[in-house]
Amino acid sequence: MRIEENFSLLSYNTFHIEAQTRYFAEYDNETELASILADKRFSELPKFHIGGGSNLLFTKDYEGVILHSNMKDISLIHEDDQYIYLYAQSGLIWDDFVAYCAEHSYYGAENLSLIPGEVGSSAIQNIGAYGIEAKDIIYQVHCIALEDGKKYTFDQIDCAYGYRQSKFKTDWKNKYIVTGVTFRLNKQESYTLSYGNLQELLKDEEINLNSVRRAIIEVRESKLPDTNKLGNAGSYFMNPFVEKSRFDALKSTYPNIPSYFVDEFTVKVPAGWLIEQCGWKGKSLGNAAIHDKQALVIINKGNATAKEIIELAITVARDVKNKFDIDIHPEVIYI
């Protein structure tokens, strides 16, 4: 267990924004977490649990306790002829979990390769990429209640997963700490390759877990900046959903608008495309900028403040609204 006072969060957020927390508490097991929650020093202070800090923007110092998991084990829970059930602890790097699945020929996580963050956050955020979301492989989510330290296990259906949404971000916000996730992976060969240009990328290769994972990593690395070199939080905005009638009207004006049909009434439009059409790709506002390879990403050019990043996000969203009459909203959480 590690408890620090007046602790810098610079290395705990991928935007590389300087902020301090009154207390930083990192635990190595659930017993330590329970003792932190029961510590009288922290009883009246607000608490916020972080993962890899890859979806956060600290707007000021945090006058409370920042919690972080250092639990990183993977264990086999159960298997049958078709599925294997793996328990991954919350502090495990997400891509290390995906790599583990690929190495052991467990199918279902490969499309989520190289998404930053940790396992616990995947169940809160419902991360997704290339036609797959975390909810598609989540079986159960294991938690400890902030209020009383009691343990809870929620089935996937209990978590009310939606696009980058879950009950942990709404009704259960600030109520539970995710300590681990049980994932159900397929033991039988199975892929999802219909999203984006995956099939094109793999047309000259033998299709297997390693080739699919490698193709997705190559695409992500070509479009998304390395957070170790350039501060960012990956996709800053969520892709908006529009009614089909509204999309049909847009398509008559913009024939090349990309889209993904959610159902017969709803269409998802890439926010990056909308931002690019507004001329923002590669453009700056102060020390914050829209990435020149992926317009969905806001970058810290080196000395950006949270205020500059937020101002850029507000300005970009306003321009998209003015041009397309579509609202885009941050995926990034402001603290």
Name the residues annotated as catalytic: 164, 235, 331
Residue 197, token pair as written in the block: 């240009």
Structure-block tokens of residue 171? 């009704």
89 bridge partner residues: 180
**Contacts for 77-83 with beta carbons within 8 Å, 24 or more apart?**
77/182, 79/187, 81/187, 82/186, 82/187, 82/188, 83/184, 83/185, 83/186, 83/187
**CA 71 to chain CA mean position, Å:** 19
**How many other C-beta atoms lie within 10 A of the C-beta of residue 92?**
23
**CA dihedral in degrees (217, 219, 220, 222; nearest 10)?**
120
H-assigned helices in 55-175: 94-103, 119-125
Cα distances (angstroms) measured from residue 151 to each of 80, 143, 175: 27, 6, 12
Cβ atoms 260, 43 nearer than 8 A: no
Per-residue b/e over 190-217, b at no fewer than 16 CB within 10 Å? ebebeebebeebbeeeeeebeebbbbbb
* Amino acid at site 180: G
Closest CA to 41 of 23, 29, 55: 23
Exposed (0-12), middle (13-18) or buried (19+): which is 61, by Cβ within 10 Å? middle
266, 270, 271, 277 alpha-carbon torsion, rounded to 10°? -120
Q: How far is CA 37 from CA 142, 144, 154, 238, in A?
A: 17, 10, 21, 33
CA-wise closest residue to 323 among 293, 261, 280, 286: 280
